[in-house]
Amino acid sequence: MNQKIDLLAATLLAVALAFGNAWAAAPAAAKKSTADHAKFKELQKAFTTGPDVTKACLSCHTEAAEQVQHTKHWTWEYTDPKTGQKLGKRAIINNYCTTTISNEKDCMACHAGYGWKDASFDFKAVENVDCLVCHDSTGTYRKLPGFAGHPVYERTEFPKGSGKFVEAVDLQKVAQKVALPSRANCGACHFFGAGGDGTKHGDLDSALKNPPKALDVHMDAKGLNFSCVKCHSTSGHEVSGSRYEMAAALKGHARVRGEADDEPASCQSCHGDKPHHENPLFVERLNAHTDKLACQTCHIPEYARDGVGTEKSWDWSTATRMGPEGKPVLVKDSAGRRAFDSKKGNFAWDSYLVPEYRWFNGQVTYKVKGDKIDSSKIVEINHLEGKVNDPDSRIWPFKVHRGKQVYDTENNILIVAHTAGEDESALWQSFDWQKAITAGMKTAGLPYSGKYGFVSTEMSWPITHMVAPKGDALRCAQCHGGESRLAGIGGLYLPGFNGNRLVESIGWGAVALALIGVLIHGFTRICFFCNKKPKETAQ
Amino acid sequence: MLKAIGGLIVGVLGTLAVVWNMAGNLVFNEQESPYTVEETVARIQQNIQAAGNGWSLMGLRNPIKPIQADGGDALPALMIEACSSKYSGPILKDDKIRFLSILMPCKISVYKKSNGKVYIGTMNAGLIGSMFGPLVGDIMKNVVADQQKFLVMDPTKPAPPIVLPKTGGEGGSGGGSAGGC
C-alpha cells in the first residue's frame, strides 16, 4: 500500500516538474523561430515604402492583413456590446491631447497602418496594414508624428527647424528581422501615449522595456521577463485584454496557458481567485479579501514607480500664452519634466503615486464627441460603474487624470480642436483657438456656436501593470489603520479604521471594568498581605 | 521606607520611559510639503543658495539608489546637504568640540510616505547645540534661524530646477559640489 502511495506521489511530482519545465522553457523556445526571414527571397530586395514590405509579408502570411483589419489596433473603433456606445479613438475626446479627429497626420504615428491622414483613408486596402511596427526586432523602425503612420523614408529634420535629423529606416533590414512582438514593440505606442514617455497610463512607461523585479515582477528582465503578449495572449492578431472590455471580478481556478480562457490578461487567469498560500496564519484572511478587492489594489501599492513618472494634470486653458518676448515657450519642472508649453498649456507630473480607489465592475461609460456636458460640475470623461454589494464589483486602483479642456459654452459639448498640423488653422501653428476649433469641429461634423470656454474634467485609468514583489504589497494597516487608503471608498466596514460608537463603548467599557477589577483585586491582596504580616511577626 | 524607595524608582523609570519615547520627536522635526519631492528639494536648494551667511550646497544624496542597486525599491527620498563656513569655522577650530564635525554638513531630508504625501525632515540643531556649551549653543541658534528660512517656500515663484551634484554625492558615495565647509 505504501509503495503504491510512493509511486503515485512520484508520478505526480514528475508530472508537476514536467509542467514546470515546460513553463520555464517556454520563453526560450519562443525565441527559436523555425524561419529565418533573411533567407526569404521575397524579403531580399530594397523596399521603397512600408506598404511594399506589407505586400511581401502577405505573399506568405495571406490572412494576416485581414485579421489585423478586424482589430481595434486598425479600426480605432469599438462598440460596447452592453450599451451600444461607439468608443475608440475615433469617438472619444480624452483630457490629454483630446482627440485624433482632424489631427490624424500626427496621431497616426501610433496606428498600425500607413497613410491615415484624413477621412479618406482606405480601411480595406491590405497593403496599408503596418506589419513592422509590431514585429520589428531591430529597434530601428520609428514612426514620427506628422507622417500619417509612415516611417521616414529619407533623412529628415525632426522636429522641423530643430537641427536634429532622423535617418531613413532600412526597410529591408527590418523586414528580414521580424519577430514576435516584444515589450519595446508594444511600448513604442503604449508607453508613449498622449505624446510623451509615461504621460498617459501611469503604469506603462519606457522603464518597462528593461525593468527590475521591484518595478514589475512579471516583466523583470532578469527574471520571468514576460513580454506583453505573454498575458495579452493573441489569436488571429486579436490582442486580449482591453480597458474597453474589462471583467473586474473574475472567479475560479488558475488556468494553464492554452486552456480556454475568456480573460487571459487577468491576474486570476494564472493565479486563480485564491492566490495566497504561503503563510497558513493569514491564508484564509487574505484569500477572503479577493471577493472585495482586485489583486492590483494590494499588489500595485504605487504607480509610476520610476524616474519617468506620469502626468497628473493637463490644463489647456493656459495654452497660447506666450513668453516674455511674445514667442512660444517651453518650461520644465524641477525634475526636468514638461510643466508648461505655449502650444499645450500647463502640466503637473509626479512619480510613485498612490492610486485612487473606486468600486468597479468593468463597465465604463464614456463621453464621446457630441455628448452634452454639465459645465457647472467636473466632467467625467469616463464614468466607472460598480458599487458595494455588487458581486461583479471589486475595489480597483485608478490613476485619475485631471484637466481643463475646451468646450462649446453654448452647445455644452466638448470641442474637437485641430491642434496638430502645419496648416494655418492648426493651434500649434496659429496659436488661435477660434481657428483651431472651427477647423476641428467642421472635420468632426459637430456644431460650433463660436463661443468657447474651459471646463474641468477627470479621466480614470485602471492600474494593472507595475506589479510589485509580494514583500512590497500593501500592509494591512495601510487600509485598516487610522490613515486608510480606502477612507473615501464608502459602503465598507474596515476594522481598524471605521469606528462604531456603540461597539467601541462596549469594548472600552469592558477594558475599564477589567482594569478596575484588576486594581480592586490587587489592592485587596496588598491590604490582606499588609494586615496579615504583623500578626505572623507577633507569633 | 521601602515603599518610598520603590515609589522613587518607579517614578524615575516612568520618567525615563516618557523621555525615551519623546526623544525622537525632540531631536528631529518633520513637516509636510505641498510640492513633489523634486520641487521641494529644488525650492529648498534655491533658498539655501540665497541665504547668505556662508551657506552653500554640499551635495544631494539619494539613499534609495543603493536599495535599487540591490534589486529592491523604496519610496523616493533625497537628502540635501548644506554647510555654512561662517558657522562651521569656529567649531572646526576648537579642539574640544571638533568632534561635532560629525554633524556636518547640515542635512535636510525630503521624502514621500505611503500616504502619498511629501515630508521634510530636519534635525533640531538648537536642542543639540544647547548641550555643548555657549559657543556651540549660539552658533546652533543661528543655524536654526537660517534653517527655518530654508523651508519657507513661495508658491508664487516658479519651480526652480533641481541642483544635481557635479561629482558623486549620490547613492551613499562621497563627494558633492564645492561648498563652504
Quick: pLDDT tens for B13-59: 888 887 777 777 788 999 999 999 999 999 999 999 999 999 999 99
Phi/psi-derived region of residue B32, left when phi > 0, alpha when psi is between -120 and 50, beta in every other case: beta
Place of cell 533567407: A39
How long, in residues, is chain A?
539
Q: Is the pLDDT of residue A281 over 90?
A: no
* 3-class secondary-structure state, position A403: strand
Q: Which of A101, A116, A92, A91 is nearest to A443 (CA)?
A: A101
CA–chain centroid gap for B95, Å, is 24
Nearest CA in chain A to B163: A334
* 3-class secondary-structure state, position B179: coil
CB contacts, 8 Å: A214 with chain B? 68, 71-73
CB nearest A334 (choices: B72, B75, B161): B161
* 3-class secondary-structure state, position A14: helix
Cis peptide upstream of residue A264 (ω within 30 degrees of 0): no
Question: How do beta strands A156-157 and A165-166 pair?
Answer: antiparallel
CA separation for the pair A228, A223 (Å, rounded) = 15
- Give yes or no for a contact between B118 and B112, defined as CB atoms under 8 angstroms apart: yes
User: Cβ of B73 and A212 within 8 Å?
Assistant: yes
Give how far A352 is from chain B: nearest CA, Å: 7
- Over residues A438-445, the mean pLDDT reads 98
CB nearest B73 (choices: A335, A339, A472): A472
A335 close to B (CB below 8 A): yes
CB contacts, 8 Å: B116 with chain A? 302, 353-354
Place of cell 541665504: B51
Question: How do beta strands A394-408 and A310-315 pair?
Answer: parallel
Confidence band of B179 (pLDDT split at 50, 70, 90): very low
Q: What is the pTM of this model?
A: 0.87
Interface with chain A: mutation pick from B114, B163, B164, highest number of A CBs within 10 Å:
B114
CB contacts, 8 Å: A468 with chain B? 73
B73 close to A (CB below 8 A): yes
Give how far A209 is from chain B: nearest CA, Å: 16
* Chain A residues 471-490 with CB within 8 Å of chain B: 472, 478, 483, 485
Q: Supply the pLDDT for residue A484.
A: 94
- Over residues A170-178, the mean pLDDT reads 98
CA separation for the pair A311, A196 (Å, rounded) = 9
Confidence band of A25 (pLDDT split at 50, 70, 90): very low
CB nearest A351 (choices: B41, B76, B115): B76
User: Cβ of B159 and A478 within 8 Å?
Assistant: no
User: Cβ of B161 and A353 within 8 Å?
Assistant: no
Extract long-range pairs of B63-67: CB within 8 Å, 24+ residues apart.
B63/B172, B65/B170, B65/B171, B65/B172, B66/B171, B66/B172
A356 close to B (CB below 8 A): no
* Grid coordinates belonging to A372: 452634452
Q: Is the pLDDT of residue A506 over 80?
A: yes
**Tally of CB atoms within 10 A around A45:** 12
Q: Which of A425, A303, A252, A222 is nearest to B75 (CA)?
A: A303
Q: Supply the pLDDT for residue A254.
A: 87
- Over residues A211-222, the mean pLDDT reads 97
- Over residues A163-174, the mean pLDDT reads 97
Where helices occur in chain B by DSSP H, the ranges are 2-27, 37-50, 64-69, 85-93, 125-129, 133-150
- Give yes or no for a contact between A407 and A452, defined as CB atoms under 8 angstroms apart: yes
* Grid coordinates belonging to B25: 520627536
Q: Is the pLDDT of residue A388 over 80?
A: yes
Interface with chain A: mutation pick from B32, B38, B78, B163, highest number of A CBs within 10 Å:
B38
* B134-149 residue pLDDT tens: 889 999 999 999 999 9
* Chain B residues 122-151 with CB within 8 Å of chain A: none
> C-alpha angle B107/B110/B113, rounded to 5°?
140
Q: Is the pLDDT of residue A14 over 60?
A: no
- Give yes or no for a contact between A436 and A103, defined as CB atoms under 8 angstroms apart: no
Confidence band of B133 (pLDDT split at 50, 70, 90): confident
A118's CB contacts (< 8 A; 6+ apart) are: A104, A443
Please report how many Cα atoms fall inside a 13 Å half-sphere around the Cα of residue B46, on the Cβ side.
16
Q: Supply the pLDDT for residue A313.
A: 98
Q: Which is higher by pLDDT, A3 or B26?
A: B26
Q: Which of A52, A206, A132, A117 is nearest to A422 (CA)?
A: A117
- Over residues A401-411, the mean pLDDT reads 98
CB contacts, 8 Å: A304 with chain B? none
CB contacts, 8 Å: B75 with chain A? 302, 352
Confidence band of A9 (pLDDT split at 50, 70, 90): very low
Instruction: Please report the DSSP string for A252-319 in residue order.
Output: S----BTB--S-TTSHHHHH-S----S-TTTHHHHHHGGGTB-HHHHH-SSBS-SSS-EEEEEEGGGT
Nearest CA in chain A to B37: A350
> C-alpha angle A178/A182/A187, rounded to 5°?
120
User: Cβ of A335 and B43 within 8 Å?
Assistant: no
- Over residues A370-397, the mean pLDDT reads 96
Q: Which residues pair with B175 in a beta bridge?
A: B168
CA separation for the pair A262, A244 (Å, rounded) = 14
Q: Is the pLDDT of residue A482 over 90?
A: no
CA separation for the pair A335, B161 (Å, rounded) = 7
Q: Supply the pLDDT for residue A535.
A: 53
* A226-262 residue pLDDT tens: 999 999 999 999 999 998 988 888 888 887 766 777 7
Q: Which of A47, A40, A79, A57 is nearest to A126 (CA)?
A: A57
B6 close to A (CB below 8 A): no
CB nearest A335 (choices: B38, B114, B116): B38
Q: Supply the pLDDT for residue B168.
A: 47
Q: Which is higher by pLDDT, B47 or A25?
A: B47
CA separation for the pair B146, B150 (Å, rounded) = 6
Instruction: Please report the DSSP string for A487-536 in residue order.
Output: TTT-S---TTTS--HHHHHHHHHHHHHHHHHHHHHHHHHHHHHHHHHHHH
User: Cβ of B36 and A212 within 8 Å?
Assistant: no
A210 close to B (CB below 8 A): no
